[in-house]
Amino acid sequence: MTSMHPAEHATFTLERSYDAGAEQVFTAWADPATKARWFASPGAEHSLDFRVGGIETTRGGPDPDVPFVFTSTYQEIQPGARLVYSSTLAHAGRVATVSLTCVEIAERGSGSTLVLTEHDVFLDHLEEPAWREQGTAEWLDRLQTVLG
């Protein structure tokens, strides 16, 4: 089907093993100051209301006059184990991507395993699936540096 307003669908799963326990990994998502250290780009504005129904917003990018705005709403939180959130990425007043993400965290030996699965709809070629997966992989790698 050809459309002047195409929608591309994609799903990806990323897995990481961390030396930190599941509770510490979960806290790195839940604590606003800690999350900003690995999730937000340098110079970006970040706010986090970590509760079911709470909103997280990151605003920034190369052009401060026309920022990218990533907004998530937490749909489900199981402390130490799972988060589910829905998100939009917008730029210049246009929604580029709508997504649903599930993060599962489990103890593994003296550390933990994190599995992130994201289902996306990319609108009007404003973002590409490979860009989203690469960016998500990069911030999961930065999470390791925060965990020590």
| Cα first-last separation, the chain | 48
Q: pLDDT tens digit string along 7-47? A: 999 999 999 999 999 999 999 999 999 999 999 988 899 99
Q: pLDDT tens digit string along 43-82? A: 899 999 999 999 999 999 888 788 899 999 999 999 999 9
Q: What values do phi and psi take at 26, rounded to 5?
A: -60, -45
> 7-147 — its CATH code?
3.30.530.20
Measured CA to CA in angstroms, residue 22 lies from 101, 114, 115, 138, 147 at distances of 18, 8, 12, 20, 11
Distance CA 39, CA 26 (A): 14
